[in-house]
Structure 1
Amino acid sequence: MISRFESFLDQNFPNWKFLSDDVLNQILDDFVGSIHLRIRHRRCTIYGVPQISRNPKHEYWWSNGHLVSIASYLKREWAVQSNHPSGPYVYIKKDENSLYPIDLVHHIEAETDEEIQERQQLEKKERWDALISVSKQITVLGRKHEYVKDLNFKNELSKKVEKLARRMIGITLNS
């Protein structure tokens, strides 16, 4: 069964199967617009860490620890977008200190004051949610700590608590 993405390619670029990744990437880049796309104000992170981020290397995305060609990336995200038209959201590093989600279908534009305010409110809520989640995990580990007799396990547990605490501090400092 042909995927929606393949149907899209067949319709717009009938010879796409004969193109190299580099050429297809360039065509897709020209067709979709620059892969630096419309800034959106939604985030998809775990404890403030982006799950998908833009790598500055010329035609690859850095995705979950792996370099993915734009063609492969778009193929995967196209399926997501088919099922979730309001997405998909990915990250692009716009400057040294901030990460913004972007949408695959719009050109980049400047954020309005209203969009900046909305994004900042969502980011603040996300940071608080992350802090509360980490706090709960630390509390649970602390409770378990009282009942543990094995010293080695205690040491391992202490490392986990310390790691969570460091993460929590990092999130607070980056707020």
Structure 2
Amino acid sequence: MPEPEPRTLTRRTLVGAAWAAPVVVAAVATPLAAASTGEPSLSSTFAGPTRDGGGGTFYQVYFKNEGPYSLAPTELTVYIPTSGQGWTWQGFGGSGWNYASGGITPTSYTFRYEGTVNPGSNAGMLYFIVSSASPGVEPFPTATLTAMAPGYPSTTLSLPVPY
């Protein structure tokens, strides 16, 4: 079966997904030692999972610049492997996010943030929907996002895909 075409989600899709189920908010912190010494680091927070109107798993993700330097437009990128993960990609969207140049491959997607991310600030929200190959069956497959920026260590966020 051919891979579905990537789609960008609309605000209308988001409204249904965002209110479809209770939201769990969590944070993944980078080492405190890095933040306390002014070393470049990224952290992430997310809301979800919620079930979107089409039955998929919906997440909202934020990446924060914990370092002392501003990230210029397109320097913050997020990589998501999609092949053999136990889930199917449905789409993404968000404030300031776009596909990176060459970011759509048969096995992964890479996104870039189009704005500046100042020290102590979050990039705009990145949201995405994926569907489990076996909804509700545990252990749930995992969507792994890796955020990267020049001069910063990468940070990885692993999110369960129950729906």
Give the TM bin, normalised by the shorter chain. under 0.3
| Higher strand fraction (1 or 2) | 2
TM normalised by structure 2 equals 0.23
| Higher helix fraction (1 or 2) | 1
Determine which structure has more spread, i.e. the larger CA radius of gyration: 1
